Chain A
Amino acid sequence: MSVISINNLKKSFGKTNALKGISFEINKGEIFGFIGPNGAGKSTTIRCLLGLIKADEGTCMIEGLDGWQESVLAHEKIAYVPGDVNLWPNLTGGQIIDVLLSFKNKKHTKKTDELIKLFDFDASKKARSYSKGNRQKVALIAALSSDADIYIFDEPTSGLDPLMEQVFQDYVLKLKDEGKTILLSSHILSEVEKLCDQIAIIKEGNIIEIGSLKDMQHLTRTNFEIISDIKIDGLENIKGLHNIKQEDNNLKVQVDTNNIDAFMKHINQYHINYLTSSAPTLEDLFLRYYEKEGA
Chain B
Amino acid sequence: MFSKTLSLLWFYLKKDKFKNICWIIAIVAFLVGIAGMYPSLFKTPEDLMAIGITMQSPSMIAMAGPLYGNSYHVANVMANNLLIFIVLMAVIMSMMLSIKNTREVEEDGLLEMINSYCIGRCANTLAVFLEVLIINIIISILITLGLTTLNIEGIDFIGSLVMGSSIGLSGIIFSCITLVISQLFVSARSVRVVSYSFMAFTYLFRAITDVSNQDLSWLSPMAWAIKTEVFVSNKILPLFLLTIFSIIFLVLSIFLNNKRDMNQGYIKIKEGKKVGKGFLLTKLGFIYKLDRVLIYGWLIGLAILGASYGSVFNQVGSFANNEMYAKLLESVNSNNFALALIPMISLISAILTIIPAVLIINHLLSDEKSERIEQLLALPMSRNKLLTSHLFWSILVGIIGIFLAQYCTYAAALSVMDSPLPLKDFMLSALNALPIILIFIGLAVFFVGWLKKYMSILWLYLIFGFIVVYFGALINIPEWITKLSPFGLINRVPIDNINWLVFIIMIIIAIVLTVLGYIGYNKRDIKK
Query: Smallest CB–CB gap between A83 and chain B, Å?
Result: 9
Residues from chain A with Cβ under 8 Å of B286 in the complex:
99, 103
Residues from chain A with Cβ under 8 Å of B289 in the complex:
90-91
Instruction: Report the bound CA distance from A110 to B504 in whole Å.
Output: 54
Contact of B371 among A86, A97, A152 (CB under 8 A): A86
Residues from chain A with Cβ under 8 Å of B326 in the complex:
none
CB under 8 Å from chain B, chain A span 28-69: 47, 50-54
Instruction: Report the bound CA distance from A125 to B271 in whole Å.
Output: 7
B273 part of interface (Cβ distance < 8 Å): yes
B118 part of interface (Cβ distance < 8 Å): no
Question: Known: A53-B525, A78-B378. Contact between A94 and B274, CB under 8 A?
Answer: yes
Residues from chain A with Cβ under 8 Å of B277 in the complex:
98
9-residue interface stretch from B87-95, B153-161, B379-387: B379-387
Contact B381 A82 (CB under 8 A): no
Contact of A95 among B280, B381, B525 (CB under 8 A): B280
Q: Mark B492-528, 1 if CB is under 8 A from A, else 0.
A: 0000000000000000000000000000000111110
CB under 8 Å from chain B, chain A span 70-86: 71-73, 75-76, 78, 80, 82, 84-86
CB under 8 Å from chain B, chain A span 91-105: 91-92, 94-100, 102-105
Contact B375 A100 (CB under 8 A): yes
Residues from chain A with Cβ under 8 Å of B370 in the complex:
86
Instruction: Report the bound CA distance from A139 to B271 in whole Å.
Output: 21
A180 part of interface (Cβ distance < 8 Å): no
Q: State which size class the interface on B falls in.
A: 20 to 34
Q: Mark B345-366, 1 if CB is under 8 A from A, else 0.
A: 0000000000000000000000
Residues from chain B with Cβ under 8 Å of A13 in the complex:
527
Residues from chain A with Cβ under 8 Å of B523 in the complex:
54
Residue of A nearest to B371 (CB): A86
Query: Smallest CB–CB gap between A149 and chain B, Å?
Result: 13
Q: Mark A111-151, 1 if CB is under 8 A from B, else 0.
A: 00000000000011110110000000001000000000000
Q: Specify the main secondary structure of chain B where it touches its partner.
A: loop
Contact A100 B374 (CB under 8 A): no
Question: Known: A86-B372, A102-B281. Contact between A92 and B273, CB under 8 A?
Answer: yes
Contact A75 B526 (CB under 8 A): no
Contact B527 A88 (CB under 8 A): no
Interface centre among A76, A96, A99, A100 (most CB of B within 10 A): A99
Question: Known: A92-B274, A126-B272. Contact between A139 and B375, CB under 8 A?
Answer: yes
Contact B371 A103 (CB under 8 A): no
Interface centre among B274, B280, B289, B524 (most CB of A within 10 A): B274
Contact of A82 among B275, B371, B527 (CB under 8 A): B371
Instruction: Report the bound CA distance from A84 to B493 in whole Å.
Output: 52
Instruction: List 30 A-B pairs, Cβ < 8 Å.
Output: A13-B527, A47-B527, A50-B374, A52-B377, A53-B527, A54-B523, A72-B382, A73-B380, A76-B380, A80-B374, A82-B371, A84-B371, A91-B276, A91-B289, A92-B274, A94-B272, A95-B273, A95-B275, A95-B280, A98-B275, A99-B276, A100-B379, A103-B286, A103-B380, A103-B381, A105-B380, A123-B275, A124-B271, A124-B272, A124-B273
